[in-house]
Structure 1
């Protein structure tokens, strides 16, 4: 699918991987709807890209339904969805103060996994009603997993579980939607230079980079975005979770 000729929805578009993805689609000529909770930062990225800023809580059904309806009214039904919205708070299952509060675990799963499914179900429903393109394709959905889905570290139980869910969702969703000509794939990034990472003290960043084989650095958000565009453009990518991690295998802590 040529991304330049079809409407796109990107969640988590106010910063990091989502903002880079929105920029890449805008540069390719796409009409992009940018969804995020952070209205101020979202407006800034929208102004930069010429995209449509839509405040949205991906964990809320009604909020997501309104956002997709607004994107559709402005640009037409999206043939491309990229889910980048996510959070990664650290927390041990049993810490100094006892067991991890259940609502902390539930919040991470709600944003990272349920939020991903929430937008996927809405976008996929619209995609299935569209006229197929020349190759029979109707849409592409790209979700964001993480290498933590495979090598979650101590203190990452909630995050690893949520991203493991995103990874496991990929194949059954691709199989189900195949008859409609809708592809589903996921990217499992390693350590990328997002605001969440670059806000860490420099000595912490240096210690993290020491474990990355090659390239010996954090990934660049635009490199994630390039992978998204590659998936969209390659019809054989379907049902796969692609590691984008510079050969990183995370240690227990």
Structure 2
């Protein structure tokens, strides 16, 4: 499916992995909805990319907010694809702390709400819109790409909320692909390892080098452009479906 004939909605599209996706699909000729809460960055990016890019302030955990972003896609053309690439916050709590106290429930529920419920919210609303479009000659209508993490498989100490949320994304992927198969919508997830996003770069070169020590090859952090290149391939390859693809240089998280 040609990206030049598509509108792509990208959550978290103003920075990090999402921005890399926005730039990549835009360069491929797609119109793009930048769905984010970072007003200044998103507006600047949309202005840079021109009239086929639009920023829509979007809270992925809010039904009406995501619905507005999906609706806005119709002003640019036909919504064919959605990429769930939003980040946000993280909490670090052991199930039971060293002081013997249980972890706060609030941090767990907020993390799951953002990364898992938010992903599902975009999946269902964008999926319905894509399913309503005309199919191509192969019966295909488009795809939804979600973002998991290798923490879904090897969550580290204190990472239980994030690992659970990202494992939930993995668990949704095949089921969603089966649910949406009859209407010609594919669902694939990417599970990145440690990526060199602007947030990661803020820790400094010494810390970044330490993160890279246990990555077999290439011995460096992943680049957002590599994530975006994989997403583009998924969107354009109609036989990729129902799978979570690791993008990690063979990295495996140690316990801590």
Q: TM-score, normalised by structure 2?
A: 0.95
CA offset digits 1:206-229 (Å, max 9, x no partner): 211101111111111011000011
CA offset digits 1:44-75 (Å, max 9, x no partner): 22122221001110011111112211222x21
Separation (CA, whole Å) in 1 of partners of 2:46 and 2:116:
25
- Which of 71, 74, 79 aligns to 2:73? It is 71
C-alpha deviation, 1:237, in angstroms: 0.3
**Which position in structure 1 is the counterpart of 2:202?**
199
Separation (CA, whole Å) in 2 of partners of 1:94 and 1:208:
26
CA contact (8 A) 2:9 2:33 kept: yes
**Which position in structure 1 is the counterpart of 2:12?**
12
- Which of 215, 230, 252 aligns to 2:233? It is 230
CA contact (8 A) 1:91 1:100 kept: no
- Which of 96, 107, 110 aligns to 1:94? It is 96
CA offset digits 1:148-191 (Å, max 9, x no partner): 00011111111110000001100000011111111000000011
Structure 1 unaligned residues grouped into runs of 5+:
none
Answering whether residue 137 of structure 2 is matched by residue 137 of structure 1, we say: no
- Which of 62, 65, 74 aligns to 2:64? It is 62
**Which position in structure 2 is the counterpart of 1:47?**
47
Q: Secondary structure at the match of 2:79?
A: coil
Answering whether residue 94 of structure 2 is matched by residue 83 of structure 1, we say: no
CA contact (8 A) 1:59 1:114 kept: yes
CA contact (8 A) 2:212 2:221 kept: yes
C-alpha deviation, 1:195, in angstroms: 1.9
**Which position in structure 1 is the counterpart of 2:21?**
21
Q: How many residues align?
A: 252
- Which of 104, 107, 115 aligns to 1:104? It is 107
Separation (CA, whole Å) in 1 of partners of 2:77 and 2:30:
12
C-alpha deviation, 1:5, in angstroms: 1.3
C-alpha deviation, 1:139, in angstroms: 1.2
CA contact (8 A) 2:148 2:166 kept: yes
Separation (CA, whole Å) in 1 of partners of 2:224 and 2:152:
19
Q: TM-score, normalised by structure 1?
A: 0.96
Q: Secondary structure at the match of 1:80?
A: strand
Quote the RMSD (CA, aligned, Å).
1.3
Structure 2 unaligned residues grouped into runs of 5+:
none
Separation (CA, whole Å) in 2 of partners of 1:174 and 1:164:
16
CA contact (8 A) 1:149 1:160 kept: yes
Which consecutive segments of 4 or more residues in structure 1 shift more than 4 A?
Answer: none
- Which of 219, 222, 226 aligns to 1:219? It is 222
Q: Secondary structure at the match of 1:186?
A: strand
Separation (CA, whole Å) in 2 of partners of 1:95 and 1:34:
39
